[in-house]
Structure 1
Amino acid sequence: MVESCVGRPLFLVLGSACVAATRAKLSIRFRSKVSSVFSLRAMAKTTPSQSPSPPTPKKLRHDMELFGDVRVDNYYWLRDDSRSNPELLSYLHEENAYTDSVMSGTKQLEDHIYTEIRGRIKEDGISAPMRRGSYFYYRRNLEGKEYVQHCRCYVPTSGAPTSVYDTMPTGPDAPSEHIILDENVKALEHAYYSIGAFKVSPNNKLVAYAEDTKGDEIYTVYVIDAESGMLVGKPLVGAITSYLEWAGDDALVYITMDEILRPDKVWLHELGTNQLDNSCLYHENDETFSLDLQASESKKYLFIASESKITRFVFYLDTSKPENGLVVLTSRVTGIDTSASHRGNHFFIKRRSDECFNSELLACPVENISATTVLLPHRPSIKLQDIQLFTDHLAVHERENGLPRITVYHLPAVGEPLERLQGGHAVEFVDPVYSVDPLESEFESGVLRFSYSSMRTPPSVYDYDMDTGVSVLKKIETILGGTHLPFKLQTTSRNERVGPYVPPGNKESCNREAGDSMSRVEEVMQKMLEKFDTTDQNLKETRTELSVIGQKINAHEVSIELLERQFSQLSAIVNTRQLGMLPNNTIQNLKNDGHCIAFTTHEGKQIIDPPMPSDVERVVEIDGDEIEVTEETKNAIEKEAEIAQKVIPMPRPPPPFPQRLVQKAEEGKYRRFITILKQFSIDVLLI
């Protein structure tokens, strides 16, 4: 809710900025209210100003010795669990002031992000009401408020068994709502406020709640009258955790912590007595273990567990005889992890070990805890996560192939022997990928409550009839500020069946079509997989061929480089003329009129410049053909000769540095020769 954003460290708020920017870019699930990512960046820019220097804490030597090793902590004085050291508080205020100064430029961005986050939360509403006896209990959120109200509504029981269709009456004729505790009123007196536990007594007359007003998770326990709200007795103070349970209607069991905040002691407090007279039920001296506390679904026993990383053992306390103290249910064995619950005259024990790494479920009589019976054996592919007990049913929360599931078993009547469980049925879910978690359910009923969500379904609360298999939606979270796309979810696997998506409201109609379409889907998938396999094989062969071709190309490149070096050596041997000298097959221009008489081509062909035609010549050559000159052609040729003789050719100056031009031309010819040579593959035997 909204209170989760209040008091949040600043780096978490800035982290939300990245999320908001990413969502604005993608625009898949939500339509962001931010016009563009650049507007966010613009708001985050800070104006250049001289920032104050950060505060520097003083160094005060403090030696800590443990196991003969001395460790020096110069800043140990900054630890103050009481939050009362003036010097420490002054330093923290300086740190906060420095942070506000440095981050002043992002204030507009922070406010914008906070407003957007809050705009996506439906602030008013109630949780799914939970029935306990003659009352429906729920939490109410108010618009504009940061905290919740703990409420209940009195609805007398009609004697009929609990049904999934039971609802809390609403409207003008409904019973009035009673507010047990308003956290908004309590929070006005404190800068920080949090309730870690809210427990109603079995007779619905009293409420015990654990309150934290500093944020250090050290709680104060209050007991109030559920109707009047008046305080009953004095509050319980000290290093108390949020582990709190009722032991009957007149006593409380709670856990305290040691100096390093490790839950290490279990206490029994009888209402109306002084806290100093509370009896310590158990003290865990091993610093590698810590304690926790939970009540059975039947509320007849409390289970206190001491646990480390790989070991957990359990005590039980009879709530009808708390003065008898704790009794060992499972002994401490390294590597054995156990948890327990109760129903009728049996304890149910979930046990995990190195051999049974996915846990197994055992049962033993209350009178003889050593006579255990295996109800669910260890299964290597299915993990046993949790169990929920009812008067006539057992709900087992498991995980298989990465997905959670709930399997329901019908139990024999109380007093009859328990044997290995068989014939359980699984709760069906419409989405192929989802998340499901257990919620508090009414023990003396056949209704299982759980929370459900998926990528297309917001967090929801369902009641499930374990006899008929009917699920009824009790609460669904409202998501504001976005459009829910009607996409479908589907899991793909080469070794499993792929079924069609079944919408929640069309399950029965789609079941008839599912059988017909399943074979077609499997056939199409099989063909696709075969094509993929064939394509993969072709790609492998193509890669192999390309690799061979690449190796051949590399070998040719080496051969060409060798040829280039050898041709270069041959060229140096054959061409003996010095640089700047003319080739030896060039003849001198006898006329010395700027024209060449003869030149030699690259192929060795010699071309001679023909002399000008004279009047005596009777034969001319046109395009390589000799023709006889007639009178008419003779006159035309004479006219052309006269015109040509009248044109005085311009003298052509000799080019500067002719040897450079010759060298450049020869180098160009050589480069063209090498380019053409590289285009061929030549196998030459070099001796």
Structure 2
Amino acid sequence: MSVESVPPPVAKTVPTERVQHGDVVIDEYEWLRDKDDPEVIAHLEAENAYTEANTAHLAELRTAVFEEIKGRTQETDLSVPTRLGQYWYYSRSFEGKQYGVHCRCPVDPAAAGLDAWTPPELEVGAEIPGEQVLLDSNVLAEGHDFFALGAFSVSNDGTLLAYSTDTVGDERYLLRFLDLRTGEQLGDEIPGTAPGATWSLDGTHIFYQTVDDSWRPDTVWRHRLGTAAADDVKVFHEPDERYWVSIGTTRSEKYLLIWVASKITSEGWMLESADPEGEFRVILPRREGVEYGVEHAVVAGEDRFLVLHNDVVDGVKAENFVLAEAPVSDPSALTLLIEHRDDVRLEDVDAFAGHLVLGYRREALSRLAVWPLTPDGYGERRELEFDLPLFAVGLGANPEWEQPTLRIGLTSFTTPTQVFDYAPDTGELLLRKEQPVLGGYDPARYEQRRDWAVADDGTRIPISLVWRRDAVQPGTAAPLLLYGYGSYEASIDPGFSVSRLSLLDRGMIFAVAHVRGGGEMGRLWYENGKTLRKKNTFTDFVAAARHLIDTGRTSADRLVADGGSAGGLLVGAVANLAPELFAGILANVPFVDPLTSILDPSLPLTVIEWDEWGNPLADPEVYAYMKSYSPYENVEAKNYPAILAITSLNDTRVLYVEPAKWVARLRAVATGDAPLLLKTEMSAGHGGVSGRYEKWKEVAFEYAWVLDTVGLGKVAPS
């Protein structure tokens, strides 16, 4: 099929009037919202055909990139086992299979001390004594175009498994149960749940959530095993549409915790896990603008709550959070443990029987510190150090309250993911596994570093970069893929990617612009990139692009912007702001029609999003501000870069209609001849296609388009 044989789809125009705050807008493509309309489906299929025709010449390159990803991946592999009770739990992957297999094997009863916590070295192809397959997702996915595993929760005594599955992509799961002693599927089935599940301490009850019509988790239910789902008890409901509800436990398993949280306010409710039919009680009543989290610790023999919060301390708002402690019997009697710092963002605290683990950010990098608990209280904190200029570190799976080691994960742009066990008593860091990369990967051939751009208001914007040393010639402008997100205080940390090697080995630089709206530089970094300061996110990205061009790292004809979801809003806005800086825009499930969505409280997740974007329904200033940056509403008659937008028909977070409308308007209004492409996955959700091979094919499709856009479409890796 040639490009000429498939004309660009031209969406019909059906004027739809929107009137808000006296502003009248005519939206000609709103009709695309009705996915039950055969004409809408026909239009999306025509766009898919056009995209396929425009990328058909990349078939060989797509195949090459897919085979490179496949060839670097150890397809048959095992994760590092994690101990829970008397079993080691791990997952397997098998060559040719799309999904993982969850397994366990018994702990050696003769092992003692640290040896009892040293995971067995499982080898591919070798028989594992006592291995039990708990769940094979490949079997569960049979006959379905889409599959996602939600809950996977083993009861405390190791005899029962609660798991849930989604075979549509709409993030509504079917919760089921297995008796792990017999392998028998129990008769209990609960449809329409959110993905998680939490056991009571004795394994007699399971707590789960359901969502409202807007896909907001709003209700917690208690199910007694062996009873009908119709008899389940509603234990908590949150009517305020600004708040999400979740349930879990403290690490000690002593308390069940229900959390109610908006973007700026949170509230916790507690119940002793040994009393699952008791009444939850509030820990600290919610107050607008105050967020807190709670962890249970035993300090000097007493039950204490560790409270991470951003309330006012000594007359000053603790923007970057502080850590306090209080008796469980009176959580309001707070004593400060760690004071506020402008340059450190406290993110979490995990409690174990003998120590605490603090997670925080400094200089746009994640950090971990271990804090021993002594008979009298608290010992001396020790930060873990790594000899890398850029890295990401965090706790791995540590399900046991009393254990002599800590499971830790470490990665960087050049370091395949490493799994360590850290021994707090000795300070020893024991490498358990490094992600295998086949084909002779040598990290010394790649370089990562941090640059800083300067925004229009003088703010320094961090940029992380990685490239292959012998593939990028010093002093020459290299092709560059610039990624950005910049919303929800999400931090884009350095991380290794097997697939990204297909770009680096062809001479492309990969960079991340850590723009405001993210969380890399602390809470104020986020605050200065949201609501009525949202445009900082976009201008920061433009500043990063200009910096990379001005310093000679790349040039406008070799630069592609990349963003997904809220990052799709970012690159969509940037396409309007500075199209001359980019050869291409790659937008995955892009939030490019934000004003239309945020004006409609009946749409999924809209009301809770008002804390992030503002409420344009109630506030004319917010309405005008959002309208001024909305990618869809600001498409103009000018030359745009090449654009590839990818979406999913069943996405419940960013509806397919947003990129469909955006591309339709671009095609009608934009000048120039750059290709404007839309690809819709017709049986997937927000995360795109399911199954690792299908995901690799999707990555290969995107990377082939990126490489072709910057002139590397025919270049084989060196």
* Aligned twin of 2:119: 167
Offset, 1:109: 3.2
Find the aligned partners of 1:106 and 1:489 in 2 and give their Cα distance: 29
Offset, 1:234: 2.9
* Aligned twin of 1:426: 383
TM-score (norm 2): 0.55
Higher RCO by CA contacts (8 Å cutoff, separation 6 or greater):
2
- Give CA-to-partner distance per residue, 1:8-63, whole Å, 9 cap, x none: xxxxxxxxxxxxxxxxxxxxxxxxxxxxxxxxxxxxxx8453216748589698x9
User: SS where residue 196 of structure 2 aligns?
Assistant: strand
Find the aligned partners of 2:92 and 2:198 in 1 and give their Cα distance: 23
Find the aligned partners of 1:317 and 1:264 in 2 and give their Cα distance: 18
* Aligned twin of 1:139: 91
Task: Give aligned-pair identity as a percent.
Answer: 33
TM-score (norm 1): 0.58
* Aligned twin of 2:63: 111
Offset, 1:284: 1.5
Residues 75, 95 of structure 2: 8 Å contact kept:
yes
Q: Which amino acid aligns with 2:339?
A: P
Number of residue-to-residue matches in the alignment: 439
* Aligned twin of 1:151: 103
* Aligned twin of 1:357: 319
Offset, 1:370: 2.6
Offset, 1:456: 4.3
User: SS where residue 110 of structure 1 aligns?
Assistant: helix
Residues 250, 270 of structure 1: 8 Å contact kept:
yes
* Aligned twin of 2:431: 473
Residues 82, 119 of structure 2: 8 Å contact kept:
no
Residues 359, 378 of structure 1: 8 Å contact kept:
yes
Find the aligned partners of 2:448 and 2:26 in 1 and give their Cα distance: 58
- Give CA-to-partner distance per residue, 1:444-484, whole Å, 9 cap, x none: 11311110123443210100011111111111101233541
Find the aligned partners of 1:320 and 1:264 in 2 and give their Cα distance: 24
The alpha-carbon distance between structure 1 residues 232 and 485, as it changes in their structure 2 partners (threshold 3 A), is closer
Offset, 1:268: 1.4
Residue 242 in structure 1 maps to residue 195 in structure 2: yes
Find the aligned partners of 2:76 and 2:198 in 1 and give their Cα distance: 30
Q: Which amino acid aligns with 2:357?
A: A
Cα RMSD for the two superposed structures: 3.5
Find the aligned partners of 1:79 and 1:228 in 2 and give their Cα distance: 48
- Give CA-to-partner distance per residue, 1:591-625, whole Å, 9 cap, x none: xxxxxxxxxxxxxxxxxxxxxxxxxxxxxxxxxxx
Which deviates more from structure 2 when the two are superposed, residues 104-113 or residues 203-212? 104-113
Offset, 1:298: 1.1
Higher Cα radius of gyration? 1
**Alignment partner of 1:266 out of 201, 220, 240:** 220
- Give CA-to-partner distance per residue, 1:513-561, whole Å, 9 cap, x none: xxxxxxxxxxxxxxxxxxxxxxxxxxxxxxxxxxxxxxxxxxxxxxxxx
Identify, as 1 or 2, the structure richer in strand: 2
Offset, 1:93: 5.4
The alpha-carbon distance between structure 1 residues 359 and 79, as it changes in their structure 2 partners (threshold 3 A), is same
Identify, as 1 or 2, the structure richer in helix: 1
Offset, 1:244: 2.1
Residues 117, 404 of structure 2: 8 Å contact kept:
no
User: SS where residue 232 of structure 1 aligns?
Assistant: strand
- Give CA-to-partner distance per residue, 1:235-258, whole Å, 9 cap, x none: 2112x2213221231211112111
Residues 205, 227 of structure 1: 8 Å contact kept:
yes
Find the aligned partners of 1:78 and 1:179 in 2 and give their Cα distance: 45
* Aligned twin of 2:332: 370
Q: What is the correspondence of 1:227-626 to structure 2 with a 5 Å cutoff? A: 227-238=181-192, 240-248=193-201, 249-344=203-298, 345-353=303-311, 355-413=317-375, 418=377, 421-441=378-398, 442-486=400-444
Offset, 1:492: 10
- Give CA-to-partner distance per residue, 1:643-676, whole Å, 9 cap, x none: xxxxxxxxxxxxxxxxxxxxxxxxxxxxxxxxxx
The alpha-carbon distance between structure 1 residues 209 and 175, as it changes in their structure 2 partners (threshold 3 A), is same
Offset, 1:197: 2.5
Offset, 1:269: 1.4
Offset, 1:74: 8.8
The alpha-carbon distance between structure 1 residues 457 and 56, as it changes in their structure 2 partners (threshold 3 A), is closer
- Give CA-to-partner distance per residue, 1:352-407, whole Å, 9 cap, x none: 23621221112222222232222222233332221121111111122333343322
**Alignment partner of 1:129 out of 81, 102, 110:** 81
Q: Which amino acid aligns with 1:113?
A: V
Q: Which amino acid aligns with 1:111?
A: T
- Give CA-to-partner distance per residue, 1:488-514, whole Å, 9 cap, x none: 989999xxxxxxxxxxxxxxxxxxxxx
The alpha-carbon distance between structure 1 residues 356 and 149, as it changes in their structure 2 partners (threshold 3 A), is same
Residue 181 in structure 1 maps to residue 101 in structure 2: no
Runs of at least 5 residues in structure 1 that lack an aligned partner in the other structure: 1-45, 494-687
The alpha-carbon distance between structure 1 residues 485 and 139, as it changes in their structure 2 partners (threshold 3 A), is closer
Q: Which amino acid aligns with 1:145?
A: K
Task: Provide runs of 4+ in structure 1 moved above 6 Å.
Answer: 57-61, 63-80, 83-91, 487-493
